[in-house]
Structure 1
Amino acid sequence: MMKRKIAKVLVLPLAMALFLSFTTAHKFYVSVTNMVYAEEEDAFQITSRIFIDDLDALLAERYGIKAKLATPDEAKVADEYIEKYLRAKFLVLFNGEPAQYTFLGKRYDNDVVICYLEIPKVKLSSIKTMTVENEVLTDLFDEQKNVVHVKWKGNKKSFVLMKSNNKGMLNL
C-alpha cells in the first residue's frame, strides 16, 4: 500500500508535467478588418478587431502611454492615440490616391477592441483599383497577421497581410 502511494506521488506530477509540455499556450497575433461598401450611403464602413492586450502594449511601447484599455482607469487620450496609430498603419488607396477616412470610435467585445472607421462619399463607379495597406501591430509583433475582408456590390475579396507583405490590391 505504501509503495502505491509513493508511486502516485512520483508518477502523477511527472505525468502532469509531460502532458502540460504538449499543451503550452500559443499566442496568436491577428487582427480582422471588414470593409463593406454601403450603397445607400456611398461609403465604405470599416470595422477592425484587434486584441486589447496587444493594442495596450503597442500604445505603451510606441507612445509611452498607459492606456489601460477596457478598464475603469482607461486613459482619456486612448481614442486619440488609437486614431493616430491607425492613420499611420492602416491606409486605403483608390486609383493610387489615399482615401480619407473618419475614425468613428471603438467598443469592447470580450478581449477585443472593435474600431469603427468610415470612408464617406465613395464614387465606386470611378474607382478602378483599391489598395489596402494594413501594418497594424506588425511593428511590435513580427508574426502579426492582419486579415482584411472587402465586400462591394456582391463581390468579396480577402487578404492576409503581414510585415513582409502588407498590401492587398483589387480591381473594382
Structure 2
Amino acid sequence: MKIQKLLVLFVAIPLLSFVTAHKFYVSVINIEHSKIDKALQITTRIFIDDFQKVLEMRYDLKEELTTEKNTKEVEQLMEKYLNKKLKIWVNGELKTFDFIGKKYEDDVTICYLEISGVAAVNSLEIENTILYELEEDQQNLVHVKIADRRKSLLLVKENDKGLLKF
C-alpha cells in the first residue's frame, strides 16, 4: 500500500506541475471599420490578472480591477496605459483613440476604444507593446475587418509592429 502511494505521488507531482506551470500570455485586439460612423471601433481583451499586475507595477494601483470602487480612476489608468502601448496609423497618419469604457467578462478585461473621422482605410499600421514588460513570451493578436476583408497580425516583443494594406 505504501509503495502504491509513493508511485502515485511520483507520477502525479510532475504532471500537476506541468499543468500549472504553463500559462498563455496573449491579448487580443479587434478593429472594425464602421462606414456609417466613419470610425474604427476597437475592442481589446486582456486577462484581468495581467492587466492588474501591469497597472500596479506602472501606476501603483492598489485597487482590484473587478471591484466597482474608483471606477473612473481605474479607467483613466487603463486609458493611460493603452495610449502608451497601442499606436495605430491610418493611411500613414498616427491617430489617437477615445477610451469609451470597459467591462469584465470571466477572466478578461474588455476595453472599448474608437478612432473617429476615418472615412476610408487603405492601410493600417499597428504597434502593440501591451504587457511586454511583464512577460517575454507575450503575444498580441490583432484582428482587423475593413469592409468584407479580414486580416490578422501576430505581434511579439521582437516584432511588435505590423502593416496591413486594404
Please show how residues 102-113 of structure 1 align to structure 2 within 5 Å. 102-113=98-109
SS of match in other structure, 2:54 = helix
Output the amino acid matched with 2:126.
V
1:58 counterpart = 2:54: yes
Q: Which runs of 4+ in 1 moved over 2 A?
A: 5-25, 71-76
Whole-Å Cα distance in 1 between the matches of residues 20 and 78 of structure 2?
31
Aligned to 1:161: 155
Distance in 1 between residues matched to 2:140 and 2:5, nearest whole Å: 47
Residue 129 of structure 2 is aligned to residue 129 of structure 1: no
Question: What SS does the aligned partner of 2:7 have?
Answer: helix
Q: 2:136 aligns with which of 123, 139, 142?
A: 142
**1:15/1:129 Cα in 2 relative to 1: closer, same or farther (>3 Å)?**
closer
Call closer, same or farther: CA 1:18–1:142 in 2, change over 3 Å.
Answer: closer
- Cα RMSD (Å): 1.8
Find out whether 1:14 has 2:5 as its counterpart.
no
Gaps of 5+ in 1: none
Q: Which has the larger radius of gyration?
A: 1
Aligned to 1:98: 94
Post-superposition Cα deviations, 1:103-162, rounded to whole Å, max 9, x if no partner, equal: 0010000000000001112120xx432211111111222211100001011111100011
The 1:157/1:65 distance shift into structure 2, 3 A limit, reads same
2:27 corresponds in structure 1 to: 31
List alignment gaps of at least 5 residues for structure 2.
none
1:170 corresponds in structure 2 to 164
**Are the structure 2 counterparts of residues 122 and 71 from structure 1 closer, same or farther at C-alpha, using a change threshold of 3 Å?**
same
Which stretch of the first structure deviates more once superposed, 21-30 or 108-117? 21-30
**Do residues 84 (structure 1) and 80 (structure 2) align?**
yes
1:119–1:67 CA distance, 2 compared to 1 (3 A): same
User: What CA distance in whole angstroms lies between the structure 1 residues aligned with 2:115 and 2:68?
Assistant: 31
Give the structure-1-normalised TM-score.
0.88
1:76, 1:37 → 2: CA distance?
27
Deviation of the 1:61 alpha carbon: 0.7
Number of residue pairs aligned between Structure 1 and Structure 2: 166
CA distance in 2 between counterparts of 1:56 and 1:160 reads 23
The amino acid that maps onto 1:86 is: L
Q: Residue deviations 1:64-117, cap 9 Å, x none? A: 121311135566511110000101111111232211211001000000000000
Cα distance in structure 1, aligned partners of 2:91 and 2:18: 49
TM-score by length of 2: 0.91
